[in-house]
A and B are shown apart, each in its own frame.
Chain A
Amino acid sequence: MTRLAITYALLMALALASWLVVPAGYALPIAAVKAGLIVAVFMDLARAHPVPRIAALVALLLFALLCAGTYADVATR
């Protein structure tokens, strides 16, 4: 439970910082950190069986691939 509470406190701190303090340019990297915390601790992927880990990794890769391929097209026309 302590692990969860610390993670929660971190998430809230990051969200508040992103909202009120830090310049907008850092919003996406902070979101990525928060997403990583949620996946690793709340979804418990850090301690999960390899199969869910591979599934998550492949999905993330393909997610990034679709966004990057599309973005690259528009950005380099």
Chain B
Amino acid sequence: MSEPTAPPPSFWTEPRGVRTWLATTDHKRIAILFFVGTALALMLGGTFALILRVELVVPDHGIVGAHAYDKLFTHHGIVMVWMFMIPAIPGVFGNFLVPLMIGANELAFPRLNRASFWVYATGACITLAALIGGGVDTGWTFYTPYSTTTPTAVAVVCVGVFVLGISSVMTGLNFIVTVHTRRAPSVPWMKLPLFVWTIYATSIILVLATPVLGLSLALVGADHVWHLGLFDPAAGGDPVLFQHLFWFYSHPAVYIMVLPAMGVVSEVVSTFAHNRPASYGGIVVATIGIALVGFFTWGHHMFVAGMSMFDTGMFGALSMFVAVFSAIKMFAWVITFYRGRVVLAAPVLYVFTFLFLFLFGGMTGVAVATSSLDVHWHDTYFIVAHFHFIMVGATLTAYLAALHYWFPKLTGRRYSEVWARRAAVAVALGFVGTFLPQFLLGNAGMPRRYYAYPEEWQWLHVASTCGAGLLALGLGTTLVYLGVALRRGPPSGDDPWQSRGFEWRTPSPPPAVAFSAPPVWERDAYSYEDEVP
């Protein structure tokens, strides 16, 4: 690789010094800080998962004991959900791109944005401090009454996740006010890039659902310390009521993760198909629709928890609506590809994986939202595989698509396309390889969160662990070639993909102040008409 030419001044270097980074209120730098934080969380959560998978290669005792196993899957879930998937796309790409996509130099409240990162870091440290105190063995769902009686460090984790939640609310609030008040005059609502719409919709969920999680965890923490018995049947409490509160947040939380992922996919599909999205309005309606309908479905997590038949039927039926809105998007993306001129590149490979996982995971979601079927699948590996496909797979592949698509925007450099494609294939095969066997395991009756299992299921567990290894290899490779590209990648130019997106109309990487005056964009972010015959 040739020596890089001296990069032009950008937000990376102006102003200089570590202290200017730590105290920064620049949305671009805060995005990079969030990238570092969420990437570390992904590695930590991934390491926990790999230990779990290696343990499960043998039907009984392997490399860790049963209690350590419980703590590992608990912390795997906590780290992945609240420290990686919730903040990843909004915190990194939302922060970096929303102002660039609406023609603003800043979010509405830059100092609130800085606070949101440092509150995130504080919450993450508190949550991880629980590991030093021996960890938690409740599962990431903190179900009562076990969570209020286990001798492990529940209260510390509750405080940590509560603080992470405060960061979420701050981020969401800032995005909503920004989109309302900071759009350049040439960016009216119906010209907003689809990614901005999804960040906006996600922010609504962040602001309105997160407090309910905060409250339910505060109650569990307080109950754990003071033995209130609020959810303890022995004291007249009702554990199912805790589940109502928990899932009122945690089901919409799935859309906190998936909506920004959909936004990434909409942008990547349009750019690499060189084509206007098949239905901009349809995608916008579906985006807001998912955000709102997502609040009406929480009870489908509780079909076998002792909830009434009335609620079971109601929540089962309401859950189906999510599939309608998801299908609108799915068709729009496929049609955009079909009518466009698709350029195959690493981000597109990730989008293909996304579409497969999203379709497969979504269809199994309709299946488990059917309460009679859920009785068989509930609390088995089928559920584990379902939510890893739809929630983790969709979020992770979109996150990687975003990372590759916007890497030149963030850094002004190109990565190795060959290695990127190899890694994308490894991630796709690794992910499917990990979780496809788990669908079969769950259908055969293997319960989730179990340490030991009958020998006849060993081959499926071995297959799943092999998939996890391949997935880890793909992610590790990505880290290496992106690290190399960051230091020595060839210059990318301002718009390497010939995208029409607003964010590509500034230099790559952008200078500290991206716009000297509100930009006047006459053509919208998807104006490929002159290209498509």
Contacts and interface: CB of A to CB of B under 8 A. Distances in A.
Contacts of B310: 72-73, 76
Contacts of A59: 208
A73 B311 contact: yes
A58 B248 CA distance: 15
B516 interface: no
Contacts of A73: 240, 244, 299, 307-308, 310-311
Contacts of B298: 69
Interface in B292-318: 292, 295-296, 298-299, 306-311, 314-315
Interface in A29-77: 51, 58-59, 62, 65-66, 69-70, 72-77
Given A51-B180, A74-B238, A69 B311 contact: yes
Nearest to B298: A69
B244 A58 contact: no
A65 B299 CA distance: 12
B21 to A, nearest CB: 34
Given A59-B208, A65-B296, A69-B299, A76 B311 contact: yes
Contacts of A70: 241, 244-245
A62 B244 contact: no
A69 B208 contact: no
Contact of A66 (B180, B248, B307): B248
Greatest chain B CB density within 10 A among A65, A69, A74 is at A69
Nearest to A59: B208
B204 interface: yes
B295 A65 contact: yes
Contacts of B292: 58
Contacts of A66: 212, 244-245, 248
B190 to A, nearest CB: 16
Given A66-B244, A70-B244, A58 B208 contact: yes
Interface string B268-302: 00000000000000000000000010011011000
Contacts of B299: 69, 73
A70 B245 CA distance: 9
B57 to A, nearest CB: 41
B352 to A, nearest CB: 36
Interface residues of B, number: 23
The interface centre, meaning the residue of B295, B306, B309 with most chain A CB atoms within 10 A of its CB, is B295
Main secondary structure of the interface of A (DSSP, over half): helix
Size class of A's contact patch? 10 to 19
A57 to B, nearest CB: 12
A72 B311 contact: yes
A51 B306 CA distance: 40
A75 B308 CA distance: 8
Contacts of B208: 58-59, 62
Nearest to B248: A66
Nearest to B292: A58
Interface string A18-32: 000000000000000
Contacts of A75: 308
B309 A76 contact: yes
Interface in B341-358: none
Nearest to A77: B308
B180 A69 contact: no
A74 B296 CA distance: 17
A51 B307 CA distance: 36
Nearest to B314: A72
B295 A62 contact: yes
Contacts of A51: 180
B260 to A, nearest CB: 20
Nearest to A70: B244
B182 to A, nearest CB: 14
Nearest to B315: A69
Nearest to B208: A62
Interface string B234-248: 000010110011001
B126 to A, nearest CB: 27
A16 B244 CA distance: 36
28 contacts: A58-B292, A59-B208, A62-B208, A65-B296, A66-B212, A69-B244, A69-B298, A69-B299, A69-B311, A69-B315, A70-B241, A72-B308, A72-B310, A72-B311, A72-B314, A73-B240, A73-B244, A73-B299, A73-B307, A73-B308, A73-B311, A74-B238, A75-B308, A76-B308, A76-B309, A76-B311, A77-B306, A77-B307
Interface of B: 180, 204, 208, 212, 238, 240-241, 244-245, 248, 292, 295-296, 298-299, 306-311, 314-315
**Top 5 closest pairs, chain A to chain B, by CB:** A76-B310, A76-B308, A77-B308, A73-B311, A70-B244
